[in-house]
Amino acid sequence: MSRPAHEPLGTPTGSGLCYGMKTPTIAFMSRKDFAELSLYQKNDYLQDITKQVLELRGDAYIPLTRDALSRLRRFYSRRSFADLRLEEMADDAMRDVLAKLGENIVGKELAKLIDSEIPPSAHAARIKRPPPIDDDQLMFFVPTVHDAPLKDEVNLMDVAPFSLSKMKRDGIIRYELKDCVITVEGGAEVGIANAYDYDIFLNMVSYLAEEMRRYRAAEKDNRRTSLPSQVYRPTAAQILKFCRRERGGKQYDELEKALDRLQATRIKIVNVGKGSRRDAESFPLIGRYKVVSRTAQDRIEQVEMEIPGWVYEGVVRPDGKPSILTLNPDYFLIAKPIAKFIYRLARKAAGQTEAFYRVEDLHYRSGSQLPLRKFRQTVTEIVNDAKSDPLPDYDISLRDGRDGPILYMKKRQDGDAPAQSEMILDNSAVHHSA
């Protein structure tokens, strides 16, 4: 078919269009040109763009469904630049800049929406889900917590302090490590918090860390200030944005259930080594919470959470030891809970260098209910998928060891391309976890 002229828009890496390519270019049609197409032409154009997206990413083409095409067409018609009032601007240069910026934003959003509509089979070999459509939009009034560095509690990074399944998990998860014993227990009615619930915990810790950073900066400048409050009052939209999730109705509906599980989940750490910060302590992932306000649709609008004392003391009064580590914000985009667990362990154990774990030890530290054989298969799939869609910050590979396969985790240095093949390791240097 013949198409109106349209200029190609470059898409930066990580926009959701494709992965692992530095300068992909796809030609996006302007809204005006798109509106002039017939229904058949619109569908044909969207299928063609989808094919280009998949080819750039190295995937086989899978046609969009009728429902997906309908959503994409609505997206085009819903986006409006009327609020820019370009016709009222006397400055021609500025008017052109705003017009191009608007089209560029739509182009990026369209790329992400197409990515989210691609059938699941085309996403099967990917570690990370696409970011939300508005993940990198310009926003004029964004609460600072959205931009706070992502933090995690050091004492919980050797294990999975959550269930790796979205299904309700009852009972107790027990980890016996070299210097401590950690148990995770959920509530009788709601079970143990899962990996996605834990994202909210990370949001809370990151908020506190950012508030403490501001406090220290003010103190250094001799400005009067006070320590951060132990009560955190975010809106539901703020939580979802920080966790890089779409803000649809289902996400809001699930939020209250997630808070129930977080409050009901208790962690107990018994230190058996000398010089540890705690001897024995039991604590919840979050303290009490209450819904401050709801929307007209009876969904959570704002919530109040009490930051538990162990988190507050660890961040505000760390006793000279760092209590939290910074994570890559792409952690939130990791789709598989086991891959989330591997990244957290790599961040704690490998840090800026490398670390090794037997897959059998990973299975134990993950608390997974999968049989070891199935868990080993899942880890192998993650390692293979990571060759085309790598974990944030770390390259991972599997090697045969004397007592079974070993996962090798190495910090990716700035400027290094993600590893595309397994690296040859000296098995004698392998670190065996406790």
284-322 confidence digits (pLDDT tens): 999 999 999 998 888 899 999 999 998 898 888 877 665
Average pLDDT on 59-88 reads 65
Residue closest to 380 by CA, chosen among 411, 344, 405: 405
CA–centroid distance for 284 within its chain: 23
More confident residue, 75 or 126: 126
- What is the pLDDT at residue 172? 95
Could you tell me if residue 298 is left (phi over 0), alpha (psi between -120 and 50 degrees) or otherwise beta?
A: left
Residue closest to 357 by CA, chosen among 394, 388, 324: 394
Range from 36-45, 162-171, 292-301 carrying the lowest mean pLDDT:
36-45
- What is the pLDDT at residue 47? 81
Buried b (16+ CB within 10 A) or exposed e, 227-246: ebebebebebbbbbbbbbbe
User: What integer best gives the mean pLDDT of the chain?
Assistant: 77
More confident residue, 194 or 144: 194
- Kind plus residue range of the DSSP H or E element containing 173: strand 172-176
What are the distances in angstroms from CA 117 to CA 29, 46, 113, 136, 177?
19, 11, 6, 19, 43
- What is the pLDDT at residue 96? 63
Range from 209-213, 249-253, 256-260 carrying the lowest mean pLDDT:
249-253
Cβ count near 168 (within 10 Å):
13
- What is the pLDDT at residue 65? 73
Average pLDDT on 39-49 reads 82
- What is the pLDDT at residue 143? 33
- What is the pLDDT at residue 10? 35
More confident residue, 379 or 296: 379
Q: Is the pLDDT of residue 413 over 80?
A: yes
- What is the pLDDT at residue 125? 64
pLDDT tier at 19 (50, 70, 90 boundaries)?
very low
More confident residue, 54 or 198: 198
Quote the tokens at residue 396.
């991972």
- What is the pLDDT at residue 184? 96
pLDDT tier at 421 (50, 70, 90 boundaries)?
very low
Q: Is the pLDDT of residue 268 over 50?
A: yes
pLDDT tier at 102 (50, 70, 90 boundaries)?
low
Domains of the chain: 8-122 (no CATH), 127-334 (no CATH), 336-434 (1.10.10)
- Going through 307-347 in order, the beta strands assigned E by DSSP cover 324-327
More confident residue, 123 or 221: 221
- What is the pLDDT at residue 430? 30
Q: Is the pLDDT of residue 414 over 90?
A: no
pLDDT tier at 116 (50, 70, 90 boundaries)?
low
Quote the tokens at residue 17.
């269009």
- What is the pLDDT at residue 114? 63
- What is the pLDDT at residue 68? 65
Quote the tokens at residue 267.
């962690």
Average pLDDT on 46-70 reads 70
Q: How would you class 373 by CB atoms within 10 Å of its CB: exposed for 0-12, middle for 13-18, buried for 19 or more?
A: exposed
Average pLDDT on 48-70 reads 69
Average pLDDT on 169-196 reads 93
